[in-house]
Amino acid sequence: MTRAPFHLVARFFDVALSKPLDSTERAAIARWLDPDLFELFREQPTADQRHAYRGALHVVAAGRADLAPAVLLHDIGKRHSGLGVFGRVAATLAEQMGIRGGNSFRIHRNHGPIGADELANRDTDDIVVDFARFHTAERPDSIDPESWDLLRAADTPPKTRALLSGR
């Protein structure tokens, strides 16, 4: 699935301007994740941690704290690419133009399945694995439509989410 240009611009600024999580935010995440998954979460770059935390707050506010682990870990495969902000921009633009790029671009492009395989090897809940695998694709049968819509909304940058909802 191709992401809309507006989403990509919003994600760029979300990544470029991200601040590290503070101790209160990390403590909340530690309550939503098992200790080994919390350590895995902490291996993500700051921007991915911040993006995931905001998404987790969205699902928790909707009364679905059970979905927080799926949101917190959906981009876990990105950390293997080693790309910074501008590398991610280049990889995303290359993908949009049909350019394959090198290994780092391939990893970034396939971060969902890469992260899902890693999570599956840790005996993580199916919804966490499946959202990581399919979050940039169509809803799998294993995730009900209501949960899927909430998870996808949580994966949308906050300002974009507000604009799309008319707030």
Does 153 map to a domain?
Answer: yes
How much is the pLDDT for 163? 47
> What is the overall mean pLDDT for the chain?
89
Q: Hey, what's the torsion of the CAs at 70, 33, 157, 20, to 10 degrees?
A: -150
CB 75, CB 51: distance < 8 Å: yes
Would you say 49 and 68 are in contact if contact means Cβ atoms under 8 Å apart?
no
Query: Per-residue pLDDT averaged across 34-43, rounded?
Result: 97
Q: Is residue 165 part of a domain?
A: no
Judge whether 166 lies within some domain: no
* pLDDT higher than threshold 90 for residue 161: no
In Å, the largest CA–CA distance within the chain is 42
47 within a domain of the structure (yes/no): yes
Tokens read off for 41: 């979460």
Q: How many C-beta atoms lie closer than 10 Å to residue 138's C-beta?
A: 7
The more confident residue out of 162 and 149 is: 149
Indicate whether 28 belongs to any domain: yes
Q: How does residue 115 score in pLDDT terms, banded at 50, 70 and 90? A: very high
**Residues 6+ away with beta carbon under 8 Å from 32:** 56, 60, 65, 68, 69, 72
Which two tokens mark 140? 């799998």
Domain that holds residue 102: 5-14+21-160
pTM of the model: 0.86
Domains of the chain: total: 1
pLDDT in tens, 43-94: 999 999 999 999 999 999 999 999 999 999 999 999 999 988 888 888 888 8
Q: Which of 4-13, 26-35, 67-76, 144-153 bottoms out in mean pLDDT, i.e. has the lowest?
A: 4-13
